[in-house]
Amino acid sequence: MRHHQKISIARLSSDLIKADEGMCKEEIALYNQIVRTFDISQDELYEAQSISQAEAVSYIRHMMPNDQKKIFSILQKAAYSDNSCVAREALLLLTLSLTLNDTTNKYKLLSSSIKGWQNVDKYVVYIESDYMPVINEEILQQYDTIANLLHLWKFEFIYIPKLTQSFREMDKDYLSDIIRYMNPRLSTTNLNDLYERLTNFTTDSFTQDYLVNSSHQNHFYDIEPSLLINVGMSHISASCPEQQDTYFINFLTIRLEDEPNCVLNEIRRFLDQYETFITEPEYHRPKRSKNLFHYYGFYKQLFDFMARHHTNGEENRILIDLSARRIWMRGIEVQMSATQLATYVFILHQTLCTHHEGLIKAGQHHPLSQKDVLRLGTTYHAICNLFREQPIVDHRSYLDDVPNIRGYITRIRTAIAHHIDIQDVNYYLPKDSADKSKYYITLDAAKIILRDTVGEYLFVDYPFWKSLR
């Protein structure tokens, strides 16, 4: 058996055992048996924590059908080793069953590092890139039936037009007061803008604005009409101490056909198969009241996302004062040393002002070309000089700076997290790209201001950057 197949088995076995938030002796014994059966080494067990569920399933899909069946049978045995199969275990088993037996790419497992999504509720969301009249008409006509079917198994059905309709039906003053309560710093203009968006949000705008543009999940770009099902959370362990673990939410997508009753029929098939795996049915949540503002699960994530995109300019603005060597985020000064601040500006520059869209890492797994070493060294030393009272000529190689930069990034993350509200902090932190090849910062360039002795500039328009090209 190939190396990547063994680490995939280890990844899925581990996720399955962790799915019920408890590990009995029988589960650990079976896990050890899986390790022995497939001759999985300690290094491979460690490496298994560095791939996503989606990657693991993709590797197993390339195995022979008989091998796939054998692996699925063993994983199923692991799930039932404690004589029960709870919701998250059942969802993972069902996802494996659907994706491994799929020859039409109807079912896909996607692992996405989407900001703000939490593993608190089971939900099924209808998504589309372009409006499909037939499917949307069916959902509107069959909405109650679909929602009630899913509700029996504690799945919440999310149809964005119904959600916005519920906001429109609320008393306007009540909803406005809720928005103001959740975001006390909102200006009147932005409060009204957020109200308008909450009451007019569409499925395609949710797919494009949130899943693609904000969360940078390109696999949702131009997606066909589909059901998006939350099947659980997992994480990828950091490869070195200065990095952070990456947390993923795993989605099963089910492509819908443009045919009568496609949504209802697909929901029924999904639940029929789900019922064959689960042994511990859950009590369902009471039905939502249409006159009550709900702030949990999916509704909380959506509201927080939209609210973050409608805060006033001062609240979202970053001001970097070069001469004073100080930085303010959301109007709050964040304490950084001059070198840490220079490193932060360096990452911003590489993210916003170059085609690399981030700072390329340097190390064993990411060797730099001599051209990159020269380019990055020149830029980094020039930016550091912006924060020195007496600029100096640094003849060191950029590679000599790399260990220090890694340490600065760790301290930068700590400093920002200390000052910024936890729900917003990820927007300001230097983050690792999905392939671990670069650091980047997901901030709106229009909100980042540089100030020097001459005046204030948008970050990307600062004249000094021209000298670095």
Residue 288, pLDDT score: 54
- Total number of domains constituting the chain: 3
Same-domain pairing of 55 and 173: no
Residue 293, pLDDT score: 72
Residue 238, pLDDT score: 58
Same-domain pairing of 135 and 192: yes
Same-domain pairing of 326 and 278: no
- Residue 93 covered by a domain: no
- Residue 384 covered by a domain: yes
Residue 340, pLDDT score: 92
Mind giving me the DSSP string for 91-107? Answer: HHHHHHHHHHT-SSS-E
- Residue 100 covered by a domain: no
Same-domain pairing of 360 and 296: no
- Residue 436 covered by a domain: yes
Same-domain pairing of 298 and 326: no
Same-domain pairing of 233 and 286: yes
- Residue 102 covered by a domain: no
Domain end marker among 242, 274, 308 = 308
Same-domain pairing of 201 and 277: yes
Residue 312, pLDDT score: 41
* Alpha helices per DSSP H over 105-187: 133-152, 160-169, 172-182
- Residue 462 covered by a domain: yes
Report yes or no: 282 and 154 within 8 Å, Cβ to Cβ. yes
Same-domain pairing of 23 and 115: no
- Residue 372 covered by a domain: yes
Domain end marker among 83, 99, 129 = 83
Residue 62, pLDDT score: 86
Q: Which residue segment(s) compose the domain that 54 sits in? A: 3-83
Same-domain pairing of 304 and 333: no
DSSP letter at 383 equals H
Same-domain pairing of 325 and 435: yes
pLDDT, one tens digit for every residue, the chain (469 residues)? 788 889 999 999 888 887 766 667 777 888 888 888 889 999 898 888 888 888 899 899 888 889 899 989 988 888 888 788 888 889 999 999 999 988 888 999 988 765 545 555 788 999 998 889 999 999 999 999 999 999 989 899 999 999 899 888 888 888 888 888 877 666 677 778 788 888 888 888 888 776 765 555 666 777 889 999 988 887 766 555 555 566 778 889 999 988 889 999 999 999 999 999 998 766 555 555 556 677 666 777 777 667 655 544 445 578 898 888 889 887 678 889 999 999 999 999 999 998 888 898 876 666 778 888 888 888 888 899 888 877 777 667 888 888 888 889 988 988 888 776 555 677 788 888 877 888 988 877 888 889 888 888 889 988 888 888 6
Domain end marker among 290, 308, 326 = 308
Report yes or no: 209 and 322 within 8 Å, Cβ to Cβ. no
Residue 161, pLDDT score: 93
Residue 246, pLDDT score: 66
* Alpha helices per DSSP H over 101-155: 133-152
Same-domain pairing of 57 and 175: no
Give how far Cα 449 sits from Cα of 130, 327, 418, Å: 36, 10, 22
Residue 225, pLDDT score: 93
253 beta partners = 108, 228
Residue 244, pLDDT score: 58
Same-domain pairing of 302 and 328: no
- Residue 120 covered by a domain: yes
Residue 49, pLDDT score: 83
**Helix or strand run (H / E) with residue 415:** helix 398-419
